C-alpha cells in the first residue's frame, strides 16, 4: 500500500482544518499526547466530544424553545459545550458558543436561535471532517502515520 500518498492526504487534510479555522493549537497538543501506550488518544477524546455534544445541543434547543425560556440553564449548557469544544481545539464551535452565550445574556431569543442553527451546522461539518480524518489515519496505521509520531 502506498503510505506516502495517504500520509500526504492526511497532512493536507489536517492543514486545511487549521487554515479554514476549524481547529486550533489545542488539537496539536492532544496529538502530542499520543504514544505507544495510548495510540488512539485523539480519536478517543474526539469520540467523547461527538458523543456528548449532540445531547448538549438538544438541551440547548429545549432551553431556548421552552416557554418561558430558561436562560440560566442555557448559559450553563453553552458553558459546558464551549468547554469541551475548546478542549479538543474545535475553535469555530467554541467561538459560536461565545456568540450564543452573549445572545442568551441579552435574552435575545432570535439571536439565540440563529446562533444555535449555525452551531448545529458547524458541529455536523466538524464531525464529518474529523471522522474522515480518523478514517484515513486508521488506514495508515499508528506506526506508519507521520502525524502520530512523537519525534
Partner 1 sequence: MASSCMGIGGEGSAPAAPHVLAVDDSSVDRAVITGILRSSKFRVTAVDSAKRALELLGSVCGLTEPQIISRFRNFRFLCCIACAITYSCIGLQGANVSMIITDYWMPDMTGYELLKKVKESSKLREIPVVIMSSENVPTRINRCLEEGAEDFLLKPVRRSDVSRLCSRVLP
Query: Where do contacts with partner 1 occur on this chain (CB under 8 A)?
Result: 26, 29-30, 32-33, 35, 37-38, 41, 44-45, 48-49, 51-52, 79-80, 82-84, 86-89
CB of residue 105 to partner 1, shortest distance in Å: 14
d(CA 44, CA 29): 14
Neighbours of 129 (CB within 10 A): 17
Burial grade of 21 (CB within 10 A; 0-12, 13-18, 19 or more): exposed
In which residue are the cell numbers 452565550 written? 101
Choose between 38 and 128: whose C-beta lies nearer to partner 1: 38
CB of residue 22 to partner 1, shortest distance in Å: 16
CB of residue 51 to partner 1, shortest distance in Å: 8
Torsion, CA 51, CA 54, CA 58, CA 59, rounded to 10: 50
Choose between 6 and 74: whose C-beta lies nearer to partner 1: 74
Contact 5, 139 (CB under 8 A): no
Choose between 4 and 21: whose C-beta lies nearer to partner 1: 21
CB of residue 30 to partner 1, shortest distance in Å: 7
Choose between 10 and 77: whose C-beta lies nearer to partner 1: 77
Amino acid at each position: 500500500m502506498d503510505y506516502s500518498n495517504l500520509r500526504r492526504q492526511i497532512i493536507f487534510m489536517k492543514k486545511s482544518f487549521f487554515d479554514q479555522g476549524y481547529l486550533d493549537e489545542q488539537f496539536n497538543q492532544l496529538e502530542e499526547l499520543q504514544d505507544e501506550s495510548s495510540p488512539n488518544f485523539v480519536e478517543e477524546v474526539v469520540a467523547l466530544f461527538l458523543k456528548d455534544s449532540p445531547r448538549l445541543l438538544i438541551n440547548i434547543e429545549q432551553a431556548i424553545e421552552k416557554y418561558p425560556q430558561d436562560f440560566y440553564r442555557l448559559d450553563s449548557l453553552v458553558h459546558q459545550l464551549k468547554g469541551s469544544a475548546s478542549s479538543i481545539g474545535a475553535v469555530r464551535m467554541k467561538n459560536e458558543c461565545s456568540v450564543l452565550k452573549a445572545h442568551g445574556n441579552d435574552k435575545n431569543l432570535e439571536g439565540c436561535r440563529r446562533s444555535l442553527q449555525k452551531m448545529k451546522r458547524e458541529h455536523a461539518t466538524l464531525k464529518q471532517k474529523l471522522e474522515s480524518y480518523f478514517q484515513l489515519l486508521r488506514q495508515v496505521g499508528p506506526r506508519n502515520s507521520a502525524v502520530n509520531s512523537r519525534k
